[in-house]
Amino acid sequence: MIPKDKQLHILMGIGACVVLAVVHHVTLGLGLLIGCAALGIFYEVQQWYRKEGQPDALDALATASPGIVAYIVLETVKWTH
């Protein structure tokens, strides 16, 4: 089972994907990939800076994962049509 902390990071990544999908200014897949990855890294850096929580690279990856999946799916669809 996925730990509750990682589930929350994945949900945060999905939320970022939804926001970026609505207001994108670059290729959708690339925007989702970069945006979710940046959000994950930023969130972990601010946890470290504020001494809140436990900064973890896997948390950043969990936050970025919806953007990574969206990018792969969108690129695959683009190249198969």
At 32-44, the pLDDT tens digits run 788 888 888 888 8
Whether 62 and 10 have beta carbons less than 8 Å apart is answered as: yes
Instruction: Evaluate if residue 25 carries a pLDDT over 60.
Output: no
Whether 18 and 45 have beta carbons less than 8 Å apart is answered as: no
> Identity (one letter) of the amino acid at 69?
V
Count Cα neighbours of 34 within 13 Å in the Cβ-side half-sphere.
Answer: 8
pTM metric for this prediction: 0.68
Domain spans in the chain, listed from the N-terminal domain onward: 4-80
- The percent of residues in the chain predicted with pLDDT above 90, rounded, is 5
Predicted pLDDT at 77: 79
Instruction: Evaluate if residue 24 carries a pLDDT over 60.
Output: no
